[in-house]
Amino acid sequence: MSLQANPVAIVVHGGAGRIERESLTPELERLYHETLERSLRAGHEILRGGGSALDAVEAAIVIMEDAPVFNAGKGSVFTAEGKNELDASIMNGSGLQAGAVGGVTTVKNPIRVARAVMENSKHVFFTNEGAEKFAADNGLELVKPDYFRTDRRWKQFLNWRKQEEARAKPQAATTLEQPEDYFGTVGCVALDAKGNIAAGTSTGGMTGKRFGRIGDSPIIGAGTYADNRTAGISCTGHGEYFIRHAVAHDISARIAYKKESLAKAADDVVKSVLKKAGGNGGVIAIDAEGNVVMEFNTPAMSRGYIDREGKLKTAIFK
């Protein structure tokens, strides 16, 4: 049976947030689009060649982790202590196998380690030093912590710290969230020619996060989920809300139990459930038929897809 008879598709995101069009320089906007396209083409080439959805997801996310424009891998945001702590997860929809890492500081590509956890251990989720030791034991590339630092993210951190100090003073401004806080987490979902779906997500977390905070990105069912019977989903946004509402799994469950379409399930969860709870963000997803969804409730979500007809598109704003 030809690959055309078994459609392939891939979708990626580079994060959702409250960023406004006028705040993006032409150079930065161009970098977003170029990196999204490179990521999509890398994954799609694997799919077109008969490769697995897992390989496509990993390849696409590695490109985004290595690009300093996104809040994942190199270019991750800083914690309240001025460090970079990274999280990632990946899931295989054919058997519900999953792997994740959290709070790593020396792993060059967290998505690779997440996959190794899935394939080379009996566990699902490793954190901190344990995850880094597992990465070293499995021959994955380690780097010095300063590898992840970029001037852009350091300036954001200094700005956040100034606002934090101002907030502690009388008559301080009550807002310290910045548009960049939630803009940058990366993710990918792919459908291969064998009908297998995979999803993955990788992030540097939230600017100013404290005490080893871990968001939804490495949590299976919250930030990432994949099931061949329903869909693959990768999330981005204010992680605490995605955890509380098990967003990725909720979308899958609505398809399985309520027989909703992927489009309706994603729209209801993102535009209704999350919005009513005060949660900002979005999701990307692909179902078993290769339908692609990119849903968000913020002014922007960097995103792109190559659909089952081979059409490529990238976008940032609505």
pLDDT surpasses 50 at 180: no
What integer pLDDT is reported at residue 5 of this predicted model?
63
Those residues whose C-beta lies under 8 Å from the C-beta of residue 187, and which sit 6 or more positions away, are: 12, 13, 61, 199, 200, 201, 202, 217, 223, 224, 234, 235, 236, 284
pLDDT, one tens digit per residue, over 230-284 is 999 999 999 999 999 999 999 999 999 999 999 999 999 999 999 999 999 999 9
E strand map for 267-311: 281-287, 292-296, 300-306
Q: Is residue 72 part of a domain?
A: yes
Q: What is the DSSP string of 32-64?
A: HHHHHHHHHHHHHHHHHTT--HHHHHHHHHHHH
pLDDT, one tens digit per residue, over 81-92 is 999 999 999 999
What integer pLDDT is reported at residue 25 of this predicted model?
87
pLDDT, one tens digit per residue, over 105-143 is 999 999 999 999 999 999 999 999 999 999 999 999 999
Instruction: Kindly indicate the confidence band of residue 182, based on its pLDDT and cuts at 50, 70 and 90.
Output: very low
What integer pLDDT is reported at residue 175 of this predicted model?
46
Instruction: Kindly indicate the confidence band of residue 176, based on its pLDDT and cuts at 50, 70 and 90.
Output: very low
Q: Is residue 215 part of a domain?
A: yes
Q: Which domain holds residue 73?
A: 9-317
How far are the Cα atoms of 65, 125, 178, 200 from residue 114, in angstroms, in the given order? 13, 8, 29, 9
Q: Is residue 4 part of a domain?
A: no
Q: Is residue 135 part of a domain?
A: yes
How far are the Cα atoms of 42, 95, 194, 302 from residue 8, in angstroms, in the given order? 13, 19, 9, 21
Task: Express as a percent the part of the chain with pLDDT over 70.
Answer: 93
What integer pLDDT is reported at residue 52 of this predicted model?
98
Q: Is residue 2 part of a domain?
A: no
What integer pLDDT is reported at residue 2 of this predicted model?
38
Number of domains composing the chain: 1
Residues linked to residue 88 through DSSP beta bridges, in sequence order: 101, 202
Q: Is residue 3 part of a domain?
A: no
Q: Is residue 300 part of a domain?
A: yes
197-218 b/e (C-beta count within 10 Å ≥ 16 → b): bbbbbbbbbbbbbeeebbbbbb
pLDDT surpasses 80 at 307: yes
Give the active site residue among 79, 185, 230, 298: 185
Decide if 185 is catalytic.
yes
Mean per-residue pLDDT for 159-166?
A: 89
Task: Express as a percent the part of the chain with pLDDT over 90.
Answer: 87
What integer pLDDT is reported at residue 265 of this predicted model?
98
Average pLDDT, the chain: 93
φ/ψ (deg, to 5) at 227: -150, 120
What integer pLDDT is reported at residue 126 of this predicted model?
98
Q: Is residue 236 part of a domain?
A: yes
CATH number of the domain that 93 lies in? Answer: 3.60.20.30
Distance CA 165, CA 247 (A): 34
pLDDT surpasses 80 at 317: yes
